[in-house]
Structure 1
Amino acid sequence: MGKLKSYQEQLQEIVDKGINAAEEQQKKLASKPFDYAEKLESEAREYSVKTLRKRYNGYSDSLFEQLRSLNTRFGSFAGDLVAKLEKEAAEGADAVAEAAEEVSDAAQGAKKSVEPKKPAARKTTARKSASTANKSTASA
C-alpha cells in the first residue's frame, strides 16, 4: 500500500504545480488590462476635457485641410490632363477636316474630268435634225 500512497502524493503534487502555474499565468494576463487602464487614467488626468477637445479639433482640422489640399492638387492634375487631351483631340479633328477637304477637292476634280462635254450633245441633236430633213425631202 505504501507505493499507492506515494503515487497518490506525487499525482497531487503534479496537479498542484499545474494549478499554481495556471494561476500565475492567469494573474499575469489579467493584470495587463488593469495596467493599461491605470496608465490611461494617469495620463488622462494630465489633460482637461477642454484641452482634449482642442487637441482633437486641431488634429481633425489638420486632417481635413490636408485632404482638401490633396483634392486641389488632384483637380489641377486632372485639369492639365483634360486640357492636353482636348488639345490633341482638336488637332486630330483639324487633321481630319483637312484630309476631308483634300478628298473633296480630289473628288470634284475627278468628277469634272469624267463629265461629258455639252457641245458634243448638241452635234448629236443637229445630226438628228439633218437626217430628219433628208427623210422629208426624199419622201416628197
Structure 2
Amino acid sequence: MTAYPLTAGVTLLVVLLLFYTMVGVGQARKRFGIRAPAISGHEAFERAYRVQMNSLEWATMFLPTLWLLAAYVADRAALAVGLCGLAGRLWYALAYVRNPAARSGGFMLGMLAFAAAGLGAGIGVARVVFGF
C-alpha cells in the first residue's frame, strides 16, 4: 500500500475548513434568528450560508482530483496544489462574509489550484493508461 501523508494532511485541513464554514452558519442562524430549515432572512446569514455551500461544492470536485494527482503524479505535488487551493478557499470565505464583491481573488486562487490538480491528474492518468 502506498501512503500519501501530505495529501492526507491537506485533506484534513480542507475538512476543517468545511467544519469552520458549518459552524459559521450555525452562529449566523443564532445571531440573526434564522430558524431551520430557512435559508434566507438576513443578508449576513445568507453570506455565511453561501460560503458553506460554495465550499462544499468546491471540495467535492477538488478533493478527488487532489488524490488522483497524489496517486498518479506525486504526494508533494498534491501538497503544493492542495495548500494553494486551501488558501484560496479560506481567502474566499473570509472575504465573502465581509464583502461579497471582494471574493474574486480567493475564488481565482482556488480555481487555479483546482485546474492544476485536474490537469496534473489527467496527465498522470493518461501516462499510465496510454503509456507515455
Structure with the bigger RCO (C-alpha within 8 Å, sep 6+) is 2
TM-score, normalising length: structure 1: 0.23
Please identify the structure whose Cα radius of gyration is greater.
1
Considering fraction of residues, name the structure with more helix: 1
